[in-house]
Amino acid sequence: MIETSIVYRNMKKYNFFKISRAEGSLLYDKEGNKYIDFTSAWNVTNLGWNHPEINEAIIKQTAKNTQGLLWGSDPIQEAYAEKLTSVLPKELDACTKATGGTEAIEESIKVARAATGRRKIIGFKKSYHGQLFASMALGYSSESVERIAPLVPDFIQMDFPTKEAGEDSFNNFKSEIEKILAKQDVAAIISEPGIITGWGSTSIAFPGFLKVLRELTQKYNTLLIIDEVGTGFSRTGKLFGIEHENVVPDMIVFAKGISNGAAAIGTVVGKSAIFEATFPYVNLISTFGWTPLACAVALKTLEIHLREKTWEQAEKKGNYIIEKLKLLLDKSIINLRGLGMEIGLELKDSETARRVIDLAYKKGLHVIIGSENNIQLMPPLTIPQNLLDDGLEILIKTIEKES
């Protein structure tokens, strides 16, 4: 019998983990071995694995209703939409239903094209927004998708203007993107809010990046879509990443941490006027988007973030991690960057990074490579201090030994 998991065996930059159970910041494999988790399933279980209040919300909702209607709503769906929009800028007053980030990104692209009457979409190279043809066209290189090409046409990929590249590079970026937008044939720009989480580079944008995008998109009647699938729900030290520059986009995409991993759910939150004008043309139907179960856990997840102010924990612990790892800069680590508890550390090459995560895994730390030589740290935001320290000790000693 061939295991269904065989399709993942070529993901050599990750340790293939046969998880049997999980609790808080700890994972257990089939043999009962325990691991400190520094991944949160890639920014999903921000409140820790199998949070008891969230699991209880599933049980309670199961006794009421588990499936919604395409042509109607359930009270818990309405309650979640109201709660989510209440904590976002007032201009963002409507939600779409989706099962995850890829579907929501695709919805936002359809809405942008229908709303503007334009075809072109701008994305950034080496970013990740999903695994369908339009979402892949935003950031995948032409070489990496050669076997499945062509993707959706009329996508423009730009270099991400990193903080490391400096002010002159950022000024060149501003000039370049304005020349493109001035033609007034771009429907939307899609970007994460100042940090790349999805592809694994953990690259941080030059300060003012979002404000520039907002200014230029408004000037040329282009929509701004912010992908908060990885940054949303306290991960970067704010409840939402847009708060770092106080920018209000036309649409925001959420998934991953929206339900803390307890159910599949995603959404585009945007301006109701845009959605209402485009609804007849874009087909936003999603059979399993926003099931009552998913909305119940998403509502409870948001309530916990607000009650506990989890973003403050993320900022404090993220700064702590950075300070600990700074001791290795220019010795074993060649670069270190992050926002909140979304942190990347670069080692001298990809082979070293591979050895580090393999050895750390054997010592009881689950950590992963984001891309090439960059290890991406994404612990649960609620990780207890003792486990955070234990995990960092394993990581630091392993890096010192292998670098």
Dump pLDDT digits (tens) for 72-89: 999 999 999 999 999 999
DSSP code of residue 33: -
| pLDDT of res. 79 | 98
Q: What is the pLDDT of residues 331-387, one digit of tens each?
A: 899 999 999 999 999 999 999 999 999 999 999 999 999 989 999 999 999 999 999
Terminus-to-terminus CA distance in the chain, angstroms?
41
Inter-CA distances, 71 with 77, 97, 168, 286, 287, Å: 13, 12, 52, 11, 10
Query: Cα separation of 396 and 173, whole Å?
Result: 36
Work out the burial of residue 164: count CB atoms within 10 Å of its CB; fewer than 13 is exposed, 13-18 middle, 19 or more buried.
exposed
Query: Is the pLDDT confidence value at 14 over 90?
Result: no
Query: Is the pLDDT confidence value at 57 over 80?
Result: yes
Query: Is the pLDDT confidence value at 55 over 60?
Result: yes
Q: What is the pLDDT of residues 272-294, one digit of tens each?
A: 999 999 999 999 999 999 999 99
Which residues have a Cβ under 8 Å from the Cβ of 354 and sit 6 or more positions away?
12, 13, 369
What is the Cβ-side half-sphere exposure of residue 351, based on CA atoms within 13 angstroms? Answer: 0
Query: Cα separation of 229 and 222, whole Å?
Result: 22
**Which of 68-72, 106-110, 158-162, 209-213 shows the lowest mean pLDDT across its residues?**
68-72
CATH fold of 4-51+309-402 reads: Aspartate Aminotransferase, domain 1 (3.90.1150)
Which residues have a Cβ under 8 Å from the Cβ of 283 and sit 6 or more positions away?
110
Q: Give me the torsion for CA of 167, 246, 104, 102, rounded to 10°.
A: 40
**17 confidence band (pLDDT: 50, 70, 90):** confident
Q: Which amino acid is at 7?
A: V
Instruction: Concatenate the DSSP letters of all residues of 38-85 into one string.
Output: SSHHHHT-TT-BT-HHHHHHHHHHHTT-S---TTS--HHHHHHHHHHH
| pLDDT of res. 1 | 34
**Contact between 82 and 302 (Cβ < 8 Å):** no
**Contact between 69 and 45 (Cβ < 8 Å):** no
Give the count of beta carbons closer than 10 Å to the beta carbon of residue 189: 27
Q: Where are the domains of the chain?
A: 4-51+309-402, 54-308
Which residues have a Cβ under 8 Å from the Cβ of 319 and sit 6 or more positions away?
none
Query: Cα separation of 306 and 326, whole Å?
Result: 31
**Contact between 285 and 102 (Cβ < 8 Å):** no
Inter-CA distances, 269 with 6, 92, 107, 140, 274, Å: 36, 6, 11, 25, 11
Q: What is the pLDDT of residues 29-45, one digit of tens each?
A: 999 999 999 999 999 99
pTM over 0.85: yes
Q: Is the dihedral of CA 341, 268, 120, 134 positive or negative?
A: positive
Q: What is the pLDDT of residues 303-320, one digit of tens each?
A: 999 999 999 999 999 999
Instruction: Say which CATH class 54-308 falls into.
Output: alpha beta
Range list of H helices, 88-228: 101-116, 133-137, 167-181, 209-219
Q: What is the pLDDT of residues 127-158, one digit of tens each?
A: 999 999 999 999 999 999 999 999 999 999 99
Query: Is the pLDDT confidence value at 5 over 50?
Result: no
Q: Give me the sheet containing 186-191, strands edge to edge.
A: 94-95, 267-270, 251-254, 223-227, 186-191, 120-124, 155-158
Proportion of the chain above pLDDT 90, given as a percent: 93
Q: Which amino acid is at 64?
A: K
**198 confidence band (pLDDT: 50, 70, 90):** confident
Proportion of the chain above pLDDT 70, given as a percent: 96
Q: What is the pLDDT of residues 209-243, one digit of tens each?
A: 999 999 999 999 999 999 999 999 999 999 999 99
pLDDT, mean over the chain: 95
* 122, containing H or E segment: strand 120-124
**Contact between 52 and 41 (Cβ < 8 Å):** no
